[in-house]
Amino acid sequence: MVFDVAGITAPLWLPPLAGFVLAFFCSMVGISGAFLLLPFQMSVLGYVAPSVSATNLVFNLVAIPGGVWRYAREGRMDWPLARLIAAGTLPGLLAGWWLRLHWLADPQTFKLFVGLVLGALALRLLRELAGRKPATQVKPAATSNRAIFLLALVIGIIGGAYGIGGGSMMAPVLVAVFALSVHKVAGAALFGTFVTSVIGVTLYQFLPAPGGMSAQPDWPLGLLFGSGGLGGMYLGARAQKHVSQRVLKIGLLLVLAGLAGGYVLQYFR
């Protein structure tokens, strides 16, 4: 199938399959999978135009409701935390959109920064899993709404710039720094990512891009990714309660380390 906006040709079955696999495993830790879908689109499909960020957000629009609905239906959605994440993320979104189109059309340096941040979070989780609790870890009872709001604001900028929604950074920080459980964080982080994605797609679709650049999403490609992601997200959210905290943290650690390594290596290449 030819995807005109992306300028690529891909088998019709590949986007839904990729969306399903990523969403199933990532939804268990509060991540939509969009942060892995972006490298997949760029490295496997060869979709490297700025509009790839917007297409990534379309995946979130379709895929995330399945996971959010499942967490809410089973009473495992922390709505106050979800609303706090969404409220902090939204103001940063417009700044992220502007940075992506005006300063970060070539995002190598920024990806290096993100890779180093995610690598630091991976090391923090590794220390915890090894039985060494970081001295600076914030206790759950001391978790500040203001601190989480400011964190969400910064992550909103990153999510708006790269089309990752923000859950891939929000969930690890809440687990590694604020000492919240993965089970508590997952649904709230997904909800915040969904809200971010709704506004993000709107910005990319309707606001003008500089210099005649095309920033609108490839809707057919994004919807195909999302159609697979919807089922994967629902089943992943359903399966999460049967998986232990330690296994989920190890999975999150592996994802963080892989993504951080990929970003850093990409910079030096």
φ, ψ dihedrals at 122, nearest 5°: -65, -40
pLDDT values of the chain reduced to their tens digit, one per residue, 269 residues = 999 998 899 999 999 999 999 999 888 877 778 877 887 888 789 887 878 888 988 999 999 998 899 989 989 899 999 999 988 888 888 787 777 677 766 667 767 777 787 787 788 778 777 875 544 455 544 457 888 888 888 888 877 666 666 666 788 788 877 878 888 888 998 998 898 888 888 888 887 776 666 689 999 999 999 999 999 999 998 888 888 878 887 887 887 788 788 878 877 87
- Tell me how many domains the chain contains: 1
DSSP string, 91-143: HHHHHHHHHHHHT-SS-HHHHHHHHHHHHHHHHHHHHHHTT---TTPPPGGG-
* CA dihedral sign, ordered 198, 40, 118, 75: positive
Q: How far apart are CA 15 and CA 30, in angstroms?
A: 21
Boundaries of domain holding 229: 2-268
